[in-house]
Amino acid sequence: MSAGSLNRVEIDLAALRHNHQLIRARLAPGVAVMAMVKAEAYGHGLERTALTLAGCGVGAFGVAEVEEGVRLRQAGVAGEIVILLGVRPDSFAEVVAHRLTPVVFDLTAIEQLSALAVASAIRLDVHLKVDTGMGRFGIMPDEVERFVTVLASLPGLRLAGLLSHLPMADNDGHVTDEQCQRFQALLGRLGVSPGSGRLRHIANSAALFRGSATHLDMVRPGITLYGCSPVSGDDSLPLRPVMRFLTGVVQVKEVPAGYGVSYGHTFVTDRPSRLAILPVGYDDGYLRRLSNRASVLIRGQRVPLRGNVCMNACVADVTDLPEVAVGDEVVLMGSQGDEVITADQVARWLETINYEVLCLFGNRNRRVYVDEF
């Protein structure tokens, strides 16, 4: 067995449970949680994350595609598994076989699912997606009655839920309020109310911060489960980051003043310097845009990244930390001692969002699961 890479992400399952408890505490009794575990649980690992949350009492899970749902069933997840991107004909058999819950927005797919469910002698739950302003998946509000009528007429299917999605809950209350009112009016027209047997859900992580009006029967937290706020600058919820990204020092070298560092010599030393060479680069999701922007933690101290990030290597300036040695742990994201580099800070360096950072690091590196850091 060959030695593994020094690069790894540590996933703190105790922090995951903590974040779920904080979310649960914001919800009224009876409001369910659908944990968003799509995209490998935002880089945290699909099966392990879902099983941990199932152990906390979570009974519904949101994935993007059927293949993820099958993996969860094979891992022993017994709760409802909702396929958010809908389903294609080549996946219908697996949907039925594993009792997955597809989101639907296409009449042809609905009719074909009905026929297969009847042939399999089962009743398959589906959720109907309505576009109330997201401008992405889902039927338009004026199509809803027609779809509901068709669903009611087809054997083998049960309309178990209606959902919509909020594109601006993190920064525009007016747009979000309008969408929620539109969704509530639609539900009223259909006679879908609490206790009707059809789940109503629209709230994402950002909507959790907006109060209970959006919570309805179920909420769909994602980024908050993993310890990041969906609302820039809002730390009102004491979330704990679940992921750390680590590597190690593989060489320490002395170079003179005026020495160019890495491809293109985009950094030239202005003094005799000590450089720590790290075996991590853009192949590991540590992108080239971090060149001469990022810092890392070594021995509990923040040190700058110098020169261009390479495919499998980058360079930190440890001139002011003479004790740094080969083998020292390096934190690229996360805490070490009293210092911390957050996913939000990495996102600012990359000019992106914390969601992308977690997926980027978590899905490109070996995962190690721990109960606490």
Residues 202, 206, 208, 210, Cα dihedral to 10°: -100
Handedness of CA 263, 269, 275, 278 (dihedral sign): negative
Catalytic residue, chosen from 129, 253, 259, 263, is 263
* 263 given a catalytic annotation: yes
Can you tell me the distance from the alpha carbon of 302 to that of 318, in angstroms, rounded to the nearest whole number? Answer: 9
Does residue 218 surpass a pLDDT of 70? yes
Can you tell me the distance from the alpha carbon of 94 to that of 70, in angstroms, rounded to the nearest whole number? Answer: 7
Average of per-residue pLDDT values in the chain: 95
Residue 344 identity (one-letter amino acid): D
Asked whether 83 and 66 are in contact (CB, 8 A), the reply is: yes
Tens-place pLDDT, residues 34-85:
999 999 999 999 999 999 999 999 999 999 999 999 999 999 999 999 999 9
Does residue 312 surpass a pLDDT of 60? yes
Domain boundaries, the chain: 31-219, 243-370
In our burial notation (b when 16+ CB lie closer than 10 A, e otherwise), range 282-296 reads bebbbbeebbbebbb
Closest CA to 96 of 76, 84, 77, 114: 114
243-370: CATH class: mainly beta
Tens-place pLDDT, residues 79-117:
999 999 999 999 999 999 999 999 999 999 999 999 999
**What percentage of the chain has pLDDT greater than the value 70?**
98
- When pLDDT is averaged across residues 306-315 and rounded to a whole number, the result is 98
Q: What is the widest separation between alpha-carbon atoms in the chain? A: 79
Residues in the chain: 373
Closest CA to 294 of 353, 350, 340: 350
**What percentage of the chain has pLDDT greater than the value 90?**
90
- When pLDDT is averaged across residues 143-154 and rounded to a whole number, the result is 96
Q: What is the pLDDT of residue 194?
A: 87
Q: What is the pLDDT of residue 208?
A: 86
Decide: residue 212, CB within 10 A, 0-12 exposed, 13-18 middle, 19+ buried.
middle
Can you tell me the distance from the alpha carbon of 337 to that of 161, in angstroms, rounded to the nearest whole number? Answer: 46
Asked whether 316 and 331 are in contact (CB, 8 A), the reply is: no
* 38 given a catalytic annotation: yes
- Tell me which CATH code domain 31-219 carries: 3.20.20.10
Alpha helices in the chain (DSSP H): 13-25, 38-43, 46-55, 66-75, 92-97, 107-119, 144-153, 173-190, 205-208, 343-350, 354-362
- When pLDDT is averaged across residues 191-213 and rounded to a whole number, the result is 89
**pTM summary value:** 0.95
Between 146 and 5, residue with greater pLDDT: 146
DSSP string covering 174-225, please? HHHHHHHHHHHHHHHHHT--TTSSSEEEEE-HHHHTT-GGGTTTEE---TTT
- pLDDT band (50, 70, 90) for residue 1: very low
Can you tell me the distance from the alpha carbon of 64 to that of 368, in angstroms, rounded to the nearest whole number? Answer: 24
Tens-place pLDDT, residues 314-373:
999 999 999 999 999 999 999 999 999 999 999 999 999 999 999 999 999 999 999 854
- N-to-C CA span, the chain: 27
- pLDDT band (50, 70, 90) for residue 212: confident
